Structure 1
Amino acid sequence: MKPTYLNCLSLLGVGGAHPGGLKLTKDILLKEDIDKTKKALDIGCGTGQTSAFIANQYECDVTALDSNYVMLEKSRERFSELSLSIDIVHGYVENLPFENLLFDLILSESVLAFTNTSKSISEVKRVLKPCGVLLAIEMVCERELSNEARTEIQDFYEVSHLLSENDWITIFRANGFGQVNVEKVKLKNELNDLDNTAEFSLSENIPDDCFYILKKHEYFTDLYRDSLGFRIFRCNI
């Protein structure tokens, strides 16, 4: 397996890697109307942390999708330990293996930025019901970066572009989402808050490169803390 940032997340089994972790996810979902009748899709589900929470908390129908088989296996182990009946699907957001108008709620937690964004958003819109909601926590570029910095970030994270808040809004609207609400959240670093920290489910024989890449991610996070942020996008058709 190539030692990329995303592959290292899978080998380390990082859950809650997105900004704000599970705590932010819970806060976002509290504002939504979710009950047993709803169908939810967690794209880029990773180790299944969010999918498990939704299934436990709301007892609704949950589908967990990821393109990484290691992540899906760790999701499967989590769901089995918790006795949760969650559909696990291997697939790519740019070509979702679902019929049209299927889901009431779709979550993307630091996922769309790592895909062909326009194709992915178009696919999400296709499988979302007319009154459905897309909730996306995504990286945004807060200020203009030098060409050198932009290239360094894009190469490390393997993303084709770095989008501003307005760029994201434009792409969401261009792909069928008429209403896009944006929330900027300032995270609190609360000690002893397990929901606000990443969890790890380690694979066997993790190469040393993975720990180097994790350290480099931490370095970039600090170096570009004023240039890269995130937003919560709530999108309706």
Structure 2
Amino acid sequence: MESTYLNCLALFGVGGAHPGGLNLTRRILSREKVDESTKVLDVGCGTGQTSAFIAKQHQCQVTALDYNKMMLEKAKKRFQSMNLQIETQHGSAENLPFENETFDLLLSESVTAFTDISKTIPEYKRVLKPNGVLLAIEMVRNAVVSEKQLEEILNFYGVRQLLDEQEWLTQFQNAGFKHIEVEKVELQPDALPTEITNDYSLSKQIDPSFYKIFEKHHHLSIVYKDILGCRTFRCSV
């Protein structure tokens, strides 16, 4: 297996790897009307931490999708152990395997930036019902970066581009979202390793090189603390 940041998350089975973790997810969901009739899509569900929380908390229909088969298998095991009836789906955010206007609520937690954004956000819009809501937690560029800095960030995280807040807004607007609310997420780089250890689903054999990836992630989060930021976006029509 290639030593990449995303493969590292899969091997360690990190739940809530997105900035703010499950606590941020709880907070942004608390503002939404979610009941038994709500149909939720968790795009890039990972090991299923968020999907499990929503299904247990709100007793609603949840679909968990991920492109990484290892992550999806770990999510299935989580759901089975918790006796939760959550549909799992292997698929890409860039080409969602669902009919138009299927979901009331779609969550994307530090997922979209790792895809072809120009394809993914229109897909989010397509599968949402007319009054549906997209909740996205995304990596944002807070300051100007040199070519060398940008190259290091893009190569390590495996993202194609590093958008600033306005560029994200433009992408959402171009996809047809008219009402967009933005909130800055305050990050604490020194706390990242502790947050990461909160929820593991470890694979049996993990090459030592993947431990070094975690170390570099922590290092970059400190070195680029003024450049790498995070925002939550609430998008609706």
Task: Please state which band the TM-score falls in when normalised by the shorter chain.
Answer: over 0.9
Tell me which residue corresponds to 1:231. 231
Q: Secondary structure of the residue that 2:26 maps to in structure 1? A: helix
| Residue 130 (structure 2) aligns with | 130
SS at match of 1:32: coil
Question: In structure 2, how many angstroms separate the alpha carbons of the residues matched to 1:219 and 1:195?
Answer: 15
For 1:53, the equivalent position in structure 2 comes to 53
Structure 2, gaps ≥5 residues long? none
User: Does the CA contact (< 8 Å) of 2:187 and 2:229 recur in 1?
Assistant: no
Task: State whether residues 10 and 71 of structure 2, in contact with CA within 8 Å, keep that contact through their aligned partners in structure 1.
Answer: yes
* Superposed CA RMSD: 1.6
Question: Deviation string for 1:79-111 (max 9, x for gaps)?
Answer: 001000000000000000000000000000000
Question: Corresponding residue for 1:89?
Answer: 89
Query: Are positions 1:201 and 2:201 aligned together?
Result: yes
Work out the CA distance in 2 between the residues paired with 1:82 and 1:195: 22
1:160 is aligned to: 160
Aligned-residue identity in percent: 55
> How far apart, CA to CA, are the structure 2 residues paired with 1:29 and 1:149?
34
Tell me, in whole angstroms, the C-alpha distance in 2 between the residues paired with 1:181 and 1:63: 24
Are the equivalent residues in 1 in contact too, given 2:140–2:162 (CA < 8 A)? yes
User: What letter is aligned with 2:93?
Assistant: V
**Aligned amino acid, residue 110 of structure 1:** S
Offset, 1:195: 8.0
- Distance in structure 2 (CA, Å) of the matches to 1:68 and 1:102: 23
Q: Which residue of 2 aligns with 1:34?
A: 34
Report the residue type matching 1:33 in the other structure. Answer: K
Aligned to 1:174: 174
Report the Cα distance in structure 2 between the residues aligned to 1:85 and 1:101, rounded to whole angstroms. Answer: 22
- Check if 1:4 corresponds to 2:4: yes
Q: Residues 50 and 195 of structure 1: is their aligned pair in 2 closer, same or farther, counting only changes over 3 Å?
A: farther
Q: Which amino acid aligns with 2:35?
A: D
Letter in 1 for 2:174: A
Return the alpha-carbon distance in structure 2 between the equivalents of residues 131 and 155 of structure 1: 37
* TM-score where L is the length of structure 1: 0.95
Q: Please give the alpha-carbon distance, in whole angstroms, between the structure 1 residues aligned to 2:209 and 2:51.
A: 29
Structure 1 ranges of 4+ moved more than 3 A: 194-198
- CA distance in 2 between counterparts of 1:30 and 1:197 reads 24
Per-residue CA deviations over 1:129-161 (Å, capped at 9, x if unaligned) read: 000000000000000001100001001111110
Residue 51 of structure 2 aligns to a residue whose secondary structure is helix
Number of the residue aligned with 1:183: 183
2: CA distance between counterparts of 1:96 and 1:171? 18
CA–CA distance in 1 between the matches of 2:188 and 2:138?
A: 18
Q: Is the 8 A contact 1:103 1:128 kept in 2?
A: yes
Distance (whole Å) between structure 2 residues aligned to residue 187 and residue 154 of structure 1? 19
Q: How does 1:95-110 map to 2 (within 5 A)?
A: 95-110=95-110
Q: Secondary structure at the match of 1:97?
A: coil
Equivalent-residue separation in structure 2 for 1:233 and 1:159 (angstroms): 19
Amino acid at match of 1:66: D
Give the direction of change, closer, same or farther, for the CA distance of 1:66–1:36 in structure 2 (3 Å limit).
Answer: same
Letter in 2 for 1:178: K
- Matched letter for residue 78 of structure 1: R
Structure 1 residues without counterparts, runs of 5 or longer: none
Work out the CA distance in 1 between the residues paired with 2:148 and 2:184: 27
User: Distance between the aligned counterparts of 1:145 and 1:198, measured in 2?
Assistant: 32
TM-fit CA distance, 1:188: 7.3
Could you tell me how far 1:186 is from its partner in structure 2? 2.6
Q: Which residue in the other structure is 1:74 paired with?
A: 74
